[in-house]
Amino acid sequence: MTEQTTSPPDHQDHDHGHHDHGLLDSGITRGFIVAIGLTAITLIAELVGGFWTNSLALLSDAAHVFMDLFALVLSLTAIHLARYPASDTRTYGWHRAEIFASLINGSTLLLIAFGILGEAWGRLLHPEAVKSKEMFLIATIGLVMNLVAASRLHGHSHDDLNVRSAFLHVLGDAIASVGVIIGGIIMLYTGWFIIDALISVAIVLIISWGAIRILREAAHILLEGVPSHIDINELVARMKDVAGVSNVHHLHVWSICSHITALSAHIDVEPDYRLRQSEIIGNLEELLDHEFHITHTTLQGECSKCTTGPVIQQLKHRPRKSADDNHHPH
């Protein structure tokens, strides 16, 4: 017979966590609003300036800024969606919306990078004159705006993939602005207008590198990969160190979103500790929370059918019905 035990929730800790998360969300929201406003101003300045100066580098940066604006709005929308409570049709709530936003952001970054690369190739073959002094001034304004916007997101970008994807958009554009400024100075004193196209290629490399990293991390979460900060062998060893735990089976560890990690496992309890099963489960939950930041756990105690099973359980598809089965009368 299978026995399943869960420990009672600590309402005080959970309420405190929700309070802290609310304050964190408020800070992130304010940072996004400021970043969106500054990015919109930068977009208008660089778009107008790009056509005025005939600078592909500036227009490339403006295209990147447009994607920045799109990414920031998308990320902020995802944060608000994540606040929606779980329901009977979405038991995990809307937290995955943040990961989808990251996936879309990464994809759009790659698309814009390919577009800039195609235009840059044409300019490399046929360089065009550029108003370098005006280009330099507009790029400098863009750089200041980007740095201020990036500073408002940086503090929240370390542990949240959605915020980090938006931060990388803005940071990449700041770096691109530096390249445009340097190019403007070089062209001002040398007249080497081919530099404009070369800077555009450099911007493409910056955009592509950030996009690939975002897509890789988002795909890892969507494919239920083990979070990068967790070593499965170390995790199992620490769980076995808890008094009364004989073994751990059918272990699954995955991310709901960047800051919510979940775990499910079967726990083989030693015979002498069977009456203390609830206490053991509680100790395991505390261990997983404090040492591995796993806040969502489902632990099943003493499953007699799987005490010799593997630590990692392979999932199996339900048998598929044949055409004959579908037409078989009931």
Domains in the chain, please, with CATH? 15-222 (1.20.1510.10), 232-306 (3.30.70.1350)
Q: Is the pLDDT of residue 18 over 60?
A: no
User: What's residue 21's pLDDT?
Assistant: 46
How far is CA 167 from each of CA 31, 62, 104, 177, rounded to the nearest angstrom? 11, 17, 15, 15
Cβ atoms 258, 158 nearer than 8 A: no
H helix or E strand, kind and range, residue 107: helix 97-125
Give per-residue pLDDT as tens, 132-176. Answer: 788 888 888 888 888 888 887 776 556 566 677 677 777 777 877
User: What's residue 162's pLDDT?
Assistant: 65
Q: Is beta strand 245-257 parallel, antiparallel or unpaired with respect to 260-269?
A: antiparallel
pTM comes to 0.67
Q: Is the pLDDT of residue 11 over 60?
A: no
- Read off the pLDDT of each residue in 259-288 and give the average, rounded to a whole number: 91
Please report, rounded to a whole number, the percentage of residues in the chain having pLDDT higher than 70.
Answer: 81
Q: Which of 18-22, 94-98, 136-140 has the lowest mean pLDDT?
A: 18-22
Residues 313-319: contacts with CB under 8 Å, at least 24 apart = 313/249, 313/250, 313/251, 313/252
Please report, rounded to a whole number, the percentage of residues in the chain having pLDDT higher than 90.
Answer: 17
Q: What's the mean per-residue pLDDT of the chain?
A: 79
Q: pLDDT confidence of 27, banded at 50, 70, 90?
A: low
H helix or E strand, kind and range, residue 267: strand 260-269
Q: pLDDT confidence of 288, banded at 50, 70, 90?
A: very high
Give per-residue pLDDT as tens, 166-221. Answer: 777 777 778 777 888 888 888 888 888 888 788 888 878 877 887 888 889 889 99
- Read off the pLDDT of each residue in 243-272 and give the average, rounded to a whole number: 89
